[in-house]
């Protein structure tokens, strides 16, 4: 697409005109039981679905003793988007994309827009969301609040790095625009990764990347032990825009930690087949089924875990330069809606941590402890992070990050306490968007800048209007 054509495609909507359409009633409000993606620790809150920033401000001002917190699509595993006995704002009602500038790649949009929607709208203009986590079902507000990362972290950093400006509603109901370098830079960076505790993000301006196609040119390497897997990932990751590895946490012995290293660059037009070239920016990401809520606990056990790991490992022999679409490469799990139901009614937890590069040995120790404890994890993801950003509570920092999914069951608590010690002693920390069970002490140790963040937060919310189950549990505020 030429620059002129891109400019012609510029999409503009007039927010003011649309607002007049909205009925002048108060937003919907109901009492609901909420839990995170892990389906653990449900609590009850009053859920309000605002349609405008003004309604957000009104709800913040009307918040009671138990406070208020914003919620997006509920993909955090633990409890950051629930607020027992208080108010929760369902932000998916604020879901308008205001403008997309195809030349500069800047998008102005509401905080309740999902990454899925954003990708669908931006791709036709050749624009790519630079930071994509394992699912597209994440709102912009949630992406900023958790400062999410993706397989491209070693090159592009985390989500907050791509935010040019955001508008937030503060505890007193006032609205403020924040920029990364402006007068409120401190508050901007306290909001990035701030888990919604500084205010409600209602609108943002993001800078997207330009791509020629929606495809990836993928190198998959089957590597039969953990040491080699990590070694390969250390050597030439910089040649790839995206890099991640999955490994088998069930097989023991000499093939312990065997896995698949998948790394990719955006495919150019020349890389595509003639058929793909006809629609190079095709958004090919269907949701084929919704998992029903019928599974008993214990579906993932040593037998099914071993079977899954074997199949997953075998399905992808080493192959270089394969062209894959968004679903194949980035989001295979998005094919199945509500896949978390497969873990059964007791739910599961995701344990994700980062340790400094020089402590790569921790990865092996953690896996050994898990195997010894008889815990089975099928979805194990290992990645090497690049540089972190300025946000005091942002999770990524240079090092190895490991992520495992474990169903809730006997012995899990003891195992996790054990892992906490190993991770923290190595100078590591936990990811708040995944966290559902650690102690306030573990967060204090892992995030040495927590006090600095608290000071910034306290200045804009001295009365503690913004509160969540996560904040209470980990004594963040």
Partner 1 sequence: MIDAVGNPQSILLLGGTSEIGLAAVEAFASDRPMRVVLAARPSQRLTDAKARLEARGCAVETLDFDAKALDTHASVVEKAFAEGDVDVAIVAFGLLGDNEEAWTDGAKAVELAQVNYTAAVSVGVALGDRLKQQGHGSLVALSSVAGERARRSNFVYGSTKAGLDAFYTGLTEALRPFGVTVTVVRPGFVHTKMTEGLKPAPLSTTPEAVAEVIVHAVRTKQELVWAPAPLRFVMSALRHVPRPVFRRLPL
Name the pairing type of β-strands 87-90 and 163-169.
unpaired
Minimum CB separation of residue 204 from partner 1 in Å reads 29
x-or-dash pattern for partner 1, window 371-410, by CB under 8 A?
A: -------------------------------------x--
**Nearest-10 crossing angle of helices 226-235, 361-372:** 150
Nearer to partner 1, 259 or 347 (CB): 347
Contact 38, 9 (CB under 8 A): no
State the first-to-last Cα distance of the chain, in angstroms, to the nearest integer.
49
Contact with partner 1 (CB under 8 A) among 37, 41, 112, 129: 41
Minimum CB separation of residue 43 from partner 1 in Å reads 4
Minimum CB separation of residue 78 from partner 1 in Å reads 6
DSSP string, 327-346: HHHT-GGGGEETGGGGG-TT
Nearer to partner 1, 70 or 218 (CB): 70
Nearer to partner 1, 104 or 413 (CB): 413
Contact with partner 1 (CB under 8 A) among 413, 448, 455, 459: 413
Which span sits near partner 1 by CB under 8 A: 1-9, 198-206, 372-380, 435-443?
435-443
The encoded tokens of residue 82 equal 């629930």
Task: Please report whether residue 167 would count as binding partner 1 according to CB under 8 A.
Answer: no
Task: Please report whether residue 76 would count as binding partner 1 according to CB under 8 A.
Answer: no
The encoded tokens of residue 261 equal 């290293």
Nearer to partner 1, 283 or 295 (CB): 295
Which span sits near partner 1 by CB under 8 A: 22-30, 165-173, 277-285, 469-477?
469-477
Minimum CB separation of residue 80 from partner 1 in Å reads 12
- Residue 17 makes CB contacts below 8 A (sequence gap 6+) with none
- Alpha carbons within 13 angstroms on the beta-carbon side of residue 219 total 15
Nearer to partner 1, 117 or 350 (CB): 350
Nearer to partner 1, 153 or 341 (CB): 341
Contact 72, 112 (CB under 8 A): yes
Minimum CB separation of residue 81 from partner 1 in Å reads 14
Minimum CB separation of residue 146 from partner 1 in Å reads 17
Task: Please report whether residue 85 would count as binding partner 1 according to CB under 8 A.
Answer: yes
Polymer length in residues for the chain: 477
Nearer to partner 1, 271 or 405 (CB): 405
Task: Please report whether residue 33 would count as binding partner 1 according to CB under 8 A.
Answer: yes
Task: Please report whether residue 222 would count as binding partner 1 according to CB under 8 A.
Answer: no
Phi-psi region of 306 (alpha: psi -120 to 50; beta: other; left: phi over 0): alpha
Which span sits near partner 1 by CB under 8 A: 35-43, 153-161, 192-200, 379-387?
35-43
Nearer to partner 1, 79 or 461 (CB): 79
How distant, in Å, are the alpha carbons of 114, 128, 330 from that of 120?
10, 10, 15
Q: Where are the beta strands (DSSP E) in 132-266?
A: 163-169, 175-178, 200-207, 209-210, 216-223, 242-247, 259-266
Contact with partner 1 (CB under 8 A) among 15, 29, 42, 265: 42
Task: Please report whether residue 30 would count as binding partner 1 according to CB under 8 A.
Answer: no
How distant, in Å, are the alpha carbons of 105, 146, 180, 278 from that of 162?
11, 14, 10, 30
Contact with partner 1 (CB under 8 A) among 162, 205, 437, 445: 437
Nearer to partner 1, 61 or 346 (CB): 346
The encoded tokens of residue 369 equal 């402890």
Identify which of 233, 240, 245 has the alpha carbon closest to the alpha carbon of residue 381: 245
Contact with partner 1 (CB under 8 A) among 1, 95, 106, 412: 412
Task: Please report whether residue 38 would count as binding partner 1 according to CB under 8 A.
Answer: yes
Sheet with strand 175-178: strands edge to edge: 11-12, 97-100, 106-110, 200-207, 163-169, 175-178
The encoded tokens of residue 299 equal 């579906």
Tokens 């998916």, located at residue: 92
Nearer to partner 1, 297 or 427 (CB): 297
Which span sits near partner 1 by CB under 8 A: 273-281, 304-312, 346-354, 392-400?
346-354
Quote the CA–CA distance of 122 and 114 in Å, as a whole number.
12
- Residue 372 makes CB contacts below 8 A (sequence gap 6+) with none
Identify which of 226, 225, 259, 248 has the alpha carbon closest to the alpha carbon of residue 371: 248
CA dihedral 41, 47, 52, 57 (to 10 degrees): -90
Interface residues toward partner 1, by CB under 8 A: 31, 33, 38, 40-45, 66, 78-79, 83-86, 346-347, 349, 408, 412-413, 416-417, 436-439, 469, 472-473
């Amino acid at each position: 697409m030429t620059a002129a054509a891109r400019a012609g495609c510029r999409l503009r909507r007039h927010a003011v005109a649309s607002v007049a359409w909205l009925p002048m009633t108060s937003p919907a409000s109901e009492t609901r039981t909420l839990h995170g993606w892990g389906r653990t620790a449900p609590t009850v809150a009053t859920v309000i679905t605002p349609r405008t920033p003004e309604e957000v401000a009104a709800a913040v001002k009307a918040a009671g003793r138990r406070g208020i917190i914003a919620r997006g699509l509920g993909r955090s595993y633990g409890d950051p988007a629930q607020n027992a006995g208080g108010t929760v704002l369902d932000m998916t009602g604020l879901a308008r994309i205001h403008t997309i500038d195809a030349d500069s790649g800047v998008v102005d949009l509401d905080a309740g827009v999902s990454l899925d929607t954003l990708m669908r709208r931006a791709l036709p203009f050749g624009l790519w969301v630079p930071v994509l986590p394992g699912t597209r079902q994440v709102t912009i507000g949630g992406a900023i609040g958790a400062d999410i990362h993706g397989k491209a972290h070693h090159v592009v950093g985390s989500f907050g790095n791509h935010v040019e400006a955001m508008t937030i509603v503060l505890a007193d109901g006032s609205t403020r625009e924040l920029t990364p370098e402006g007068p409120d830079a401190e508050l901007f960076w306290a909001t990035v990764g701030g888990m919604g505790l500084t205010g409600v993000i209602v609108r943002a301006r993001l800078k997207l990347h330009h791509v020629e196609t929606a495809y990836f040119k993928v190198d998959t390497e089957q590597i039969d032990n953990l040491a080699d897997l990590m070694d390969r990932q250390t050597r030439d990751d910089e040649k790839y825009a995206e890099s991640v590895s999955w490994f088998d946490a069930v097989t023991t012995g000499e093939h312990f930690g065997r896995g698949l290293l998948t790394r990719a660059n955006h495919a150019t037009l020349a890389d595509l087949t003639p058929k793909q070239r006809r629609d190079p920016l095709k958004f090919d990401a269907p949701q084929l089924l919704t998992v029903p809520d019928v599974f008993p606990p214990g579906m993932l056990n040593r037998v099914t875990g071993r079977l899954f790991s074997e199949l997953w490992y075998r399905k992808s022999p080493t192959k270089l330069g394969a062209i894959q679409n968004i679903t194949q490469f980035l989001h295979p799990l998005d094919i199945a809606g509500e896949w978390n139901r497969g873990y059964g009614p007791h739910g599961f937890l995701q344990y994700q941590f980062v340790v400094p590069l020089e402590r790569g040995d921790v990865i092996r120790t953690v896996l050994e402890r898990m195997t010894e404890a008889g815990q089975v994890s099928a979805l194990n993801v290992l990645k090497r992070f690049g540089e972190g950003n300025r946000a005091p509570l942002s999770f990524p920092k240079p090092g190895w990050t490991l992520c495992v999914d474990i169903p809730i069951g006997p012995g899990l608590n003891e195992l996790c306490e054990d892992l906490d010690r190993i991770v923290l002693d190595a100078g590591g920390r936990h990811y708040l968007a995944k966290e559902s069970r650690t102690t306030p002490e573990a967060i204090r140790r892992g995030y040495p800048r927590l006090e600095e963040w608290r000071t910034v937060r306290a200045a804009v919310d001295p009365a503690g209007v913004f509160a969540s189950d996560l904040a209470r549990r980990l004594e963040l505020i």
